[in-house]
Amino acid sequence: MSEKREKLLKELYDTINEISVLGSCVSLLDWDERTYMPRKGSEHRGNQIALISGMAHEKFTAPRIGELINEIIADGLNPDDDSIDAANIRELKRSYEKYVKLPKSLVEETSKTVTMAQGIWQEARQKSDFASFKPWLEKVIGLKQQRAEAIGYKGVAYNAMLDDYEAGASTDDITKVFAGLREPLVDLIARIKSSGKSPDTGIITRNYPVDRQEKFGTEAAKIIGYDFEAGRIDITAHPFCTDIGPGDIRITTRYNPNHFPQAFFGILHESGHAIYDQGLIIDHYGTPCSEPVSLGIHESQSRMWENVVGRSRGFWKFWFPQLRKVFPRQLDDQTLNSFYRAINKVSPSLIRVEADEVTYSLHIMLRFELENMLIEGKLKPADVPEAWNAKMKEYLGIVPPNDALGCLQDVHWSYGSIGYFCTYSLGSMFAVQLWEKALKDHPTLPAEIEKGEFGTLLKWLRSNVHTHGRKFTLDELARKVTGEPLQSKSYVAYLKKKFGDIYGV
Amino acid sequence: MSEKREKLLKELYDTINEISVLGSCVSLLDWDERTYMPRKGSEHRGNQIALISGMAHEKFTAPRIGELINEIIADGLNPDDDSIDAANIRELKRSYEKYVKLPKSLVEETSKTVTMAQGIWQEARQKSDFASFKPWLEKVIGLKQQRAEAIGYKGVAYNAMLDDYEAGASTDDITKVFAGLREPLVDLIARIKSSGKSPDTGIITRNYPVDRQEKFGTEAAKIIGYDFEAGRIDITAHPFCTDIGPGDIRITTRYNPNHFPQAFFGILHESGHAIYDQGLIIDHYGTPCSEPVSLGIHESQSRMWENVVGRSRGFWKFWFPQLRKVFPRQLDDQTLNSFYRAINKVSPSLIRVEADEVTYSLHIMLRFELENMLIEGKLKPADVPEAWNAKMKEYLGIVPPNDALGCLQDVHWSYGSIGYFCTYSLGSMFAVQLWEKALKDHPTLPAEIEKGEFGTLLKWLRSNVHTHGRKFTLDELARKVTGEPLQSKSYVAYLKKKFGDIYGV
C-alpha cells in the first residue's frame, strides 16, 4: 500500500472510530433510559442524546470524509476488491453518499417528530385510540417519503426504507420471497387446525417464580455462548440487545411469573443477538468491518438460538430434566414431549410478538404490505385500521376486537422504522438456511445439542457469519455460505417437518 | 441590557450548556462503570470518557469563549455585580483563565497517569505494598506541581490545588481553622477515654438482613427530602453521589449485613449531597449559577443530614420505634438511649471513612499537613509511610500495623485529588455553623425532627444554600447566611455538648 493511502486510511479510520465511540455513548444513554433512568431525567436525556447524535451526524457528513474516500479510491483502492479496506471504503462511501444528501432540517424534524410520536402512540395504544395517533402516522409517513426523495432510490420509494435495515434488499425480491412463503404457511395452518389437536399449554402457564426463571435463563444463555464478562441481563418492558462497545453487549428481558416461555425464549433470542455482536472482530472497532451487516442477518442469529435450537426437541432432551429440577412442583407430572408440544403450540393470534413460528411470518407480511401501500400513497393512514383487520381476517382468520390489539400494537411506526418488520422474517428464513448448511458441515450437531453442547455450532457461526462484519450483504453472505441466495424453501420444509411431526399432519 | 450583550450572553450560555451536557454524559459513563458495566467493557469505557471529556475541554478552552467573556465585560457587565449574569461571567472568567493555561500535553499525561495509578494503588493497597505505589505517587505529585506552576498561584503552590475544590480557600486560612480545632478535639478525645465509658456496639453489628436495610434506608432518604422520581440508589464498593443532569441525581451505597450504620448513614450522607443537587435552580442549566459551589459546601449538606440530623437523639426519637418494627429480633431488648450511644461511640481508629464525628477531623488534618509538605517538597513520597504513622501516633495515639490500614487507605492521591481532603472537615464545620443559624431562624426545628418532619429544615437549606449555585464562595456564603466567616468554634461547641452528654464529660 502506498504511504499516501496508508495516511489517508488512518485519518479516515481515526475519524470514523470517534464517530463510533460517540454512537456507543448514545447506546449507553439509551440503555440507561430504558432500564434505570429516573422518570424526571427524561427531558435532559433527550438533550444528551440529541447533542451526541448531532455531533456524530455532523462529523460523518463533513466534507473531509467525502474527500478522504475519494482520495483513497483515486489512489487506486478498488472498493470492489476483496480486502477489508475495500469493504470498509465501499460501505463508508455508500453511507456517506446517503447521509450527506439528507438536509439537516429533515433529520432534526424527523428526530423531534418521532420523539413526540412515541409518546402519543403509547397513550393511543393504552386507550386503543387510533384517531389520536393518525395525524402522527401521517407526519411520519410524510417525513419518510421526503427522506426517500432526498436520498434517491431505484424502483419504488419503499426501497429507500429497506436500505436502512437491509442493504441491497428490494421490495420486489422480498415480495417474491414472501410469495413463496404465504401459501405453504396458510396451508400448514389449515392442516394443523383441522388436525383437531391442541397441546395443553397449562403446563407453561403455571406459577414459575421469577428468581428461579432468572437463574435458569442466565445459565442457559451462558452455556449457549453469551459471555457475561462482556454482557449482562436487565429487566425492561420491551426486551432488546444493545452494543455499547467491545466487551460490553447487553440484553434485557421481562419476566412473567405465569408464563415460562416469555422470558426464557426472550433471553435465548436476545442472547443470539448478543453472541453475534460479541463475535465481531474488534481489532478495527469503529469501521464497517467490525459492525453487524444487517438486521436480517442479526435476526437470523437470534432466531437460530431462540427457535431452531431453543424450541427443538433435542435442546430440551438435555434441558428439560434440568428445568424439572429447578421447578419440580410445576413439572413433575410432565414429560419431555408434553413440554415440547406446549412450547410449540400453533394458534393464530392477534399479537405479533407472541406468535408461534408458523403464524409469525403472516404478521410480518401484513405489515410489509401495508407499509408498501402507505409509502406509495395507495393506502391512507386513516384507512390503516380497516386494511389491517381485513388482512388479519384473510391471513389468520381472526379480527382484532380493537386497534390496541390490532394496528396500534407495535412501536415501530411511531419511531419511524418503516421497512424494519420484514427483516424479522428474513432472519427466520435465513436461520434455517444457515442451519441446513451447518448440519451438512457437522452432522453431529443434533447429537451435541442433545447433550447440551453448543460449541461446534457457535464456532461455525463465528467463522461463517460473525467475523465478517459488514463485509457482505445478506444476499452475498447467503450465497457465500450456503451456495444460494436467501430462499424460503428451507424454512417451509423445516416448518412442515417440525409441525407436521407435532400435529401428525 | 443592550441587544449586543444579550446576543453575546446567549452565544456564551449556549456553548457552555453544550459543554455541561457533554459533562453529564461523562457522569453517566462513570456511574455505569461503577455500577453495572461488565468487566470487559473497561477499555472501551476509557475511550468513551476520554473522547467526551477531551471534547468538553477543547470546547471550553476555545479562544471564542475568552472573546465572548471579554466582549461581555467590555460591553459594560461588571463581574462583581450582584446579578446572575455577573456571577456567571465571574465564574466562567475564573475557570476559563485557569484551564486555558493548562498545556494539552499536561492534561493528557495527567489523565493517563491517574488512570494507571488507580489500578496500581488498588493492587498496592491489597498487598499493603507502598513500594509499588511510590513511583506513581511521585509522578502524581510532580504533575500536580507542574499544574500549579502552569496555572499560577498566590502564596504557596498548594493554594492552586485547593482552588480546584474550594474556590477562594487558602492554605493559611485552613491552617488557622484547623489550629482552632486540633487542641479541643485532642482534649475531648482524652476526656472521653478517661471517662472509662464505652457504649456497647454489639447492638448495631447484629445481623440486619440487607433487603430490610434497603427498604428502611430508602424510606428515610425519601422522608428527609430525596426525590426518587429524580434519583435512585444502587450498590457500589465505594459509595458516591452523581449529577447526571436536571431530574437525575443518583446515589450509591454498600450494605453490610452485620453493620447497620454503614449503609444507613451512608445513604443519609449521599442523600444530603443529592438533595443539594436537586435543589439547584435548573432554569439556567449548564451555567455556574446552576452548579454546586464547592466541595466544602457540598459536604456541609451531606454531613448535615448524616451527622447533625441523622446521628442526633431527636432524629432517633422518631425513627428508633420504626427501626424496631423493621428489625424486632435485633432491637427488642434495646432502648433509644442504648442505640443512640452505640451509633455515636467515639474511638480512635485507623480508617478515616469509619471514624466517628470527634476523631474524624484529625484524620483530615493529618492528610492536609502531609499534602502540604509533599507539594512544597518538604516531604518525599518515599517518606510518607513514616510521616503518616508518626502523625497517627501523635493525633490519635495509634499506629497502623501496615500501610494498607495507613497511608494506602484512600483512593484520592492515586487519582490526583490533592487538596480535596480538607473539604470534608470544612463541610463538617460549616454544617454545624449552618445548623446554628437555622435553629435561630426556626427554634421549632428540634421538635419537628423528633416528629419525623424535615420540611422546615429542607426549605431553609433550599433558600439559604441550594438555590445560590455558584453565586457565592464558601466564605461568602458563610458570611451572608450566618454573619461570620467559616469558623470552628460552633463545631467544637457542638461536639463538646453532644459527646459531653453521651460520655458525661
Mean pLDDT per 10-residue interval, chain A, length 505 residues: 94 96 96 94 92 94 98 95 92 95 90 87 95 98 97 96 92 94 95 94 94 98 98 93 97 96 97 97 87 92 98 98 96 95 96 95 98 97 98 95 97 94 97 98 98 98 94 92 95 98 96
CB B21, CB B244: distance < 8 Å? no
| Phi, psi dihedral angles at B374 (to 5 degrees) | -65, -45
Q: How many Å apart are CA B169 and CA B473, to the nearest integer? A: 9
- The rounded percent of chain B whose pLDDT value lies above 70 is 100
Question: DSSP per residue over B5-66, as a string?
Answer: HHHHHHHHHHHHHHHHHHHHHHHHHHHHHHHT--GGGHHHHHHHHHHHHHHHHHHHTSHHHH
Q: Which of A270, A299, A306, A371 is catalytic?
A: A270
pLDDT in tens, B183-228: 999 999 999 999 999 999 999 999 999 999 999 999 999 999 999 9
Amino acid (one-letter) located at B350: L
β pairing state of B249-253 and A233-235: unpaired
Name the 3-class secondary structure at A412. helix
Question: Does the structure show a pLDDT above 90 at B487?
Answer: yes
A277 contacts in B (CB within 8 Å)?
none
Catalytic status, residue A476: no
Look up cell 462583581; give the residue: B80
Which pLDDT score is estimated for B391? 96
Q: How far is A55 from chain B (nearest CA, A)?
A: 11
Confidence at B324, pLDDT banded by 50, 70, 90: very high
B37 contacts in A (CB within 8 Å)?
248
Look up cell 472497532; give the residue: A285
A232 contacts in B (CB within 8 Å)?
36, 38
Q: How many Å apart are CA A149 and CA A151, to the nearest integer? A: 6
Which pLDDT score is estimated for B321? 97
* Mean predicted confidence (pLDDT) in B85-103: 94
Which pLDDT score is estimated for A206? 94
Q: Does A23 touch chain B (CB under 8 A)?
A: no
Which pLDDT score is estimated for B104? 85
Name the closest residue on chain B to residue A31, using Cα atoms.
B32
Selected residue with higher pLDDT from B473 and A375: A375
Q: Which residues pair with A234 in a beta bridge?
A: A252
Q: Does A284 touch chain B (CB under 8 A)?
A: no
CB B231, CB B251: distance < 8 Å? yes
Listed residue (B335, B336, B407) closest to B367, CA to CA: B407
| Entry pTM | 0.94
Smallest Cβ distance to B230: which of A18, A28, A38? Answer: A38
Cell of B78: 461588571
Quote the crossing angle between the two packed helices B455-464 and B422-441, to the nearest 10°. Answer: 110
A244 contacts in B (CB within 8 Å)?
41, 44
Question: Does the structure show a pLDDT above 90 at B51?
Answer: yes
Torsion sign, CA atoms A275, A281, A284, A290: negative
Mean pLDDT of chain B: 95
Q: Does A245 touch chain B (CB under 8 A)?
A: yes
CB A17, CB A57: distance < 8 Å? no
Which pLDDT score is estimated for A108? 84
User: A504: left (phi > 0), else alpha (psi -120 to 50), else beta?
Assistant: left
Listed residue (A417, A391, A377, A384) closest to A124, CA to CA: A384
C-alpha count within 13 angstroms, C-beta hemisphere, residue A6: 3
CB contact (8 A) between residue A38 and residue B229? yes
Rg of the Cα trace of chain A?
Answer: 23
Question: Does the structure show a pLDDT above 90 at B234?
Answer: yes
Q: Does B232 touch chain A (CB under 8 A)?
A: yes
Question: Does the structure show a pLDDT above 90 at B108?
Answer: no
* Mean predicted confidence (pLDDT) in B110-116: 87
CB B126, CB B113: distance < 8 Å? no
Q: How many CB pairs under 8 A join A and B?
A: 115
Q: How many Å apart are CA A182 and CA A432, to the nearest integer? A: 17
Which pLDDT score is estimated for B339? 97
Cell of A301: 442469529
Q: Which residues pair with A243 in a beta bridge?
A: A249
Which pLDDT score is estimated for A104? 85
Which pLDDT score is estimated for A467? 93
Q: Give the C-alpha distances (Å, rounded to integers) separating B406 from A11, B57, B131, B374, B400.
A: 48, 35, 14, 17, 5
Cell of B228: 426518587
